[in-house]
């Protein structure tokens, strides 16, 4: 096995470990705080499948091991409106009224 193949195997093992952290319905943050993204498997370098935000934010060259799993609901607007989330109802709008019509 070449060194490149060995490194690819290491990355693939890390990707499998991370994918296992995101079973169906598990969401994630790119940091320990901030927006909660929907997570889906995504083909990455050399066909290695990694967990990635549904909205594709930061999925170009970022470190997929930085994803933090959470059971918190998705708060990222782009993820909520993506095709993967269209089958689930959107949360109620939490928008304040500009006029008090009472
Ligand atoms: Zn998102």
28 Cα to the center of ligand 1, angstroms: 9
- Least confident range of 15-24, 71-80, 86-95: 86-95
27 Cα to the center of ligand 1, angstroms: 10
Q: For residues 22-26, give the mean pLDDT.
A: 90
78 Cα to the center of ligand 1, angstroms: 5
Two tokens, residue 12: 């693939």
37 Cα to the center of ligand 1, angstroms: 4
Task: Find the helix or strand (DSSP H, E) in which 3 lies.
Answer: helix 3-20
Q: For residues 13-22, give the mean pLDDT.
A: 93
Q: Which residue has the higher pLDDT, 60 or 57?
A: 57
- The sign one gets for the Cα dihedral 74, 78, 84, 86 is positive
What is the residue extent of each domain of the chain? 3-85
């Amino acid at each position: 096995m070449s060194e490149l193949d060995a490194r690819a195997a290491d990355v693939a093992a890390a990707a499998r470990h991370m994918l296992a952290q995101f079973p169906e319905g598990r969401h994630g943050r790119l940091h320990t705080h901030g927006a909660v993204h929907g997570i889906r498997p995504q083909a990455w370098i050399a066909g290695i499948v990694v967990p990635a935000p549904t909205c594709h934010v930061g999925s170009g060259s970022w470190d997929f091991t930085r994803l933090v799993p959470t059971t918190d609901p998705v708060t990222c607007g782009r993820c909520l409106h993506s095709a993967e989330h269209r089958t689930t109802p959107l949360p109620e709008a939490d928008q304040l009224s500009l006029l008090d019509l009472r």
